[in-house]
Structure 1
Amino acid sequence: MSASEIERVFRQEYGRAVAVLVRLVGDIDTAEEAVQDAFTAAAERWQSTGLPPSPAGWIITTARNKAIDRKRREATRHGRHTEALLLHTPDEPPEEGPVHDDRLRLIFTCCHPALADTAQVALTLRLLGGLTTAEIARAFLVGEPTVAQRIVRAKGKIRDAGIPYRVPSDADLPSRLSSVLAVVYLIFNEGYLTGSGDRPVREDLCAEAIRLGRLLAELMPDEPHVLGLLALMLLIHSRRSARTTPDGSLVLLADQDRTLWDRGLIVEGQELVRRCLRRNQPGPYQIQAAINAVHSEAPTAAATDWRQIVQLYDQHMALAPTPVVALHRAVAVAEVDGPSVALALIENLNLDTYHLFHALRADLLRRLGRIGEATLAYETALARTQNKAERDILHRRLDQAQE
């Protein structure tokens, strides 16, 4: 069995295993260490035995046993030894509460109001998304040491404050929803376009984010932000078959074969957008979903209603006036008012570490015939991304600009 196969299982099952172990042992560090030990054991054993029928079950059982062994070794009092033995109990009573999915339950638990918002999201992405510190840092556009400190502080706060690992009550759900949605969306984004490596897409992360989104929609069917996020993910994911070539190269939206788009996901996503519109409680996810619904309605790239998209971005800016939103709005403005107007809009955005800022700036400069400046911008964008598929596109555009 190859190392890549074990890595694939790790990526797919790590979050589930940690969620189950946290529920069983009540401690994040113990759960993580046990799961990591289990994967170390799997890497050694599966090389000779091959993949077991249920890799997830094997990992969870092994991690559980390792957690029991660890508690026994650490036991200094009869009470702690008894606590370890309780993990052997096969028939645990079901925990009361509205959330019954282990992973979704752990997201709500980690998104506790005692933790800073950024710490909540970073910790849950690490535990449940299986994302590395580097991948989380790219999602936040901050340095790895900053993210590492946030995760350590969050774990310490949970431990020192005695924050319980329990199912949140119905009354707790709304106050934690914003961070929960942010976690699910960042998991989806990392799957939609990975921050590094040879694979542009991680289907497992996209599927997991959508699964969690559907669970949230069942849990809170009248919450427009939940419906908006689910609609957004479905509409984006509907294009998955057209986004890459057989050799793994990325295909940009304007160049995609729209006959490959998943009409079932589009219809479902558009219906959710209409439900959000009827509620008339706009939020960032609902507006982004509406933007993607406009794209999904256009039979060709040339037929896209860019004026409507600019209007939607105007609403988005009114709700969330961030540099990243302004950058995406400029893409639509360039199609309506031309590249010079769009370039003026982005020149002062504080996004120097964001490769897409430099990539868009390079495209606009190229369209304006400012080839020397465009070349420098493409090279800057290349220096700020490690994703091979994105780098290939930037290299092609750089070559085209210099022809």
Structure 2
Amino acid sequence: MLSRLGEMIWADWLWFPEGHGWADLTDGDGVVFPKPKDLWATVPIALCFLVIRQIFERTVATPLAALLGVSDKQRVRASPNPVLEAHFRSTSKHPTQSSIEGLSKQTGCSVRQVQRWFRRRRNQDRPSKVKKFREASWRFTFYLLAFFAGLAVLIDKPWLYDMTLMWENFPKMPLLPSQYWYYMIELGFYLSLLVSVASDVKRKDFKEQIIHHFATIFLITFSWLVNYIRGGTLIMVVHDAADYLMESAKMFNYAGWRKTCNFFFTMFAAVFIFTRLVILPFWIIHTTCVYPLTLYRPFFGYFFFNGLMFTLQILHVFWAALIVRMVIKFLPGKQDIVEDERSDKEETESEEEGEDCELRAKSKNGHMQNGHTPHNNNHQKAD
């Protein structure tokens, strides 16, 4: 039964245009084609990336952070409080005003003290600036090397300049050694990101990042299996073109180099919009979605591949909107440094004092309107 199911899933008519099939990818006469078993090589490559990353962050990224002046300010830890800790872990890290007042009565603390405790407790869980710098420097290094490696793989290939050639003699297109290693290294890196995502800095677009990683892995894997190698290499180099600029902007942001950060972020925004909102949809996706219909009748593999492409494109539009918002923030008359819209910002003591003053003002107005005077801090209430 499983054998029959496998035959149905991998049927030629599903994944290839009419008249072609898996038999076309049989090695012979010195010509090599991609094979499913080749993908197992990405597992040890991913493990190597995880080990190399740890070594890199300790021996390169940490000293570089110190050299650029990246340091963590000392955080005030929240004092031990079993009642507040239980609410923080099991109910909410951002309690409502009514919850704060209830916790105030339970603990004998003032509303202000409860509010401060939750801020300090949230700050304890936020990643340090040095940790974020190490992550950014690791990704910067890989994306920079991957981009130029991708250019080296493609620079002498005719389908870089005429993308319709990515379908020439499909699927009987020989696999080149440079394409093999480019694919294995890229896929291994994304697998390592998927493994490390649990310990990496979680941003507001965490779910979108997970979707992006899975879509990218599926896209790279599928393009390898059905020999969409030429299109796959084009897609990967387009994605790597902007990523290292974003990571460099983050690094200078954490170092407090404002003008340098804004310069690299502006470059990133321009390259991102051009590569992912112009080159990718109007050149590459057009060549994978529209051009094949002039050569073949539609088949399932065609829809599957382009479905993954459109998923990535939707995510690119989402991120482009965030990028534009960040660019607007440092236009003339705005703030003078880029802030990552996806980051969970640390709450400072000054923010605490400002919000506490606002709380007291609201509480005072509320009691005066009701004709009552507060007897102690434990019974303060805000509108």
Q: TM-score, normalised by structure 2?
A: 0.27
- Between 1 and 2, higher relative CO (CA 8 Å, sep ≥ 6) is seen in 2
Q: TM-score, normalised by structure 1?
A: 0.26
Task: Tell which structure's C-alpha radius of gyration is larger.
Answer: 2
